[in-house]
């Protein structure tokens, strides 16, 4: 029979706190947020990252353990999990810029019309949302943009701890500016398609008045989809270039705020 004795409770609790924070971050970042990825993969990835980074952050986390005491195990767990979820939510919010832009493009082109004509359709994510989302994810992974993300998560252990948590009380202005910029960015990325759709709608409105016998509704579906695909194919390089630069900038703003 094997007896296991824990000789250093402080290090054990600190390791668990680090694991809790990384778990909260990883389950929401663009790579692991997909529901098809098994939870065991996310947990093991978090455990591996915790094992690698623990020597570098253990000093700051142990200060929290000493400050709150060993009996505050669940307090430290919940605190670090919430901090990880908040950081992961910020990163996910940046990705939602591109998903929202894709949603606007889908609606403007007309691919979202199936939701109006087929109420039984449960598909809530259009083709452009998926294409844009996975293109950005692949670009982020292949370009090494995950490194500053991991660096920001690592530095959060120095700046967001239990003994200096009160320093984050004056932050509503940052949240307001961030989410306002997310909304404006989604509009900006989809603006070429929106402008094209407005132009087409205006032309078809004039046509409906001058040639009443033309079925403008059917013509609009064909023209919107055709012109939308054409405009997006022409502007796609600029779209993804701007989207990537925007992702890096906003990610830097978030972690600069955290540090």
Q: What is the DSSP string of 179-236?
A: HHHHHHHHHHHHHHHHHHHHHHHHHHHHHHHH-TTS-HHHHHHHHHHHHHHHHHHHHH
Provide DSSP, 87-134: HHHHHHHHHHHHHHHHHHHHHHHTGGGHHHH-TT----S-HHHHHHHH
What are the residue ranges spanned by the domains of the chain? 9-258
Give the pTM: 0.72
Query: Of 25, 27, 18, whose CA–CA distance to 50 is shortest?
Result: 18
Query: What pLDDT score does 122 carry?
Result: 47
Distance CA 186, CA 94 (A): 10
Percent of the chain with pLDDT over 90: 0
CA distance 162 to 204: 61
DSSP state of 170: S
pLDDT in tens, 227-245: 877 888 888 787 788 777 7
């Amino acid at each position: 029979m094997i007896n296991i004795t824990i000789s250093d409770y402080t290090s054990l609790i600190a390791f668990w706190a680090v694991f809790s924070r990384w778990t909260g971050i990883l389950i929401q970042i663009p790579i692991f947020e997909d529901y098809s990825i098994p939870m065991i993969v996310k947990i093991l990835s978090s455990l591996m990252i915790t094992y690698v980074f623990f020597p570098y952050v253990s000093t700051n986390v142990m200060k929290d353990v000493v400050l709150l005491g060993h009996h505050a195990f669940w307090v430290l767990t919940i605190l670090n999990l919430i901090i990880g979820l908040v950081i992961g939510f910020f990163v996910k919010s940046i990705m939602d810029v591109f998903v929202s832009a894709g949603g606007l493009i889908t609606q403007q082109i007309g691919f979202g019309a199936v939701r109006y004509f087929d109420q039984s359709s449960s598909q809530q994510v259009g083709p452009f949302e998926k294409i844009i989302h996975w293109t950005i994810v692949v670009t982020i992974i292949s370009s090494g943009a995950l490194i500053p993300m991991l660096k920001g998560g690592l530095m959060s252990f120095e700046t967001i701890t239990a003994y200096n948590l009160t320093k984050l009380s004056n932050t509503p202005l940052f949240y307001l500016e961030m989410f306002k910029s997310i909304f404006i960015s989604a509009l900006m990325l989809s603006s070429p398609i929106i402008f094209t759709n407005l132009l087409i709608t205006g032309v078809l409105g004039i046509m409906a008045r001058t040639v009443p016998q033309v079925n403008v509704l059917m013509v609009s579906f064909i023209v919107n989809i055709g012109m939308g695909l054409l405009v997006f194919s022409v502007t796609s390089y600029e779209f993804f270039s701007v989207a990537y630069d925007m992702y890096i900038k906003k990610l830097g703003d978030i972690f600069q705020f955290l540090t």
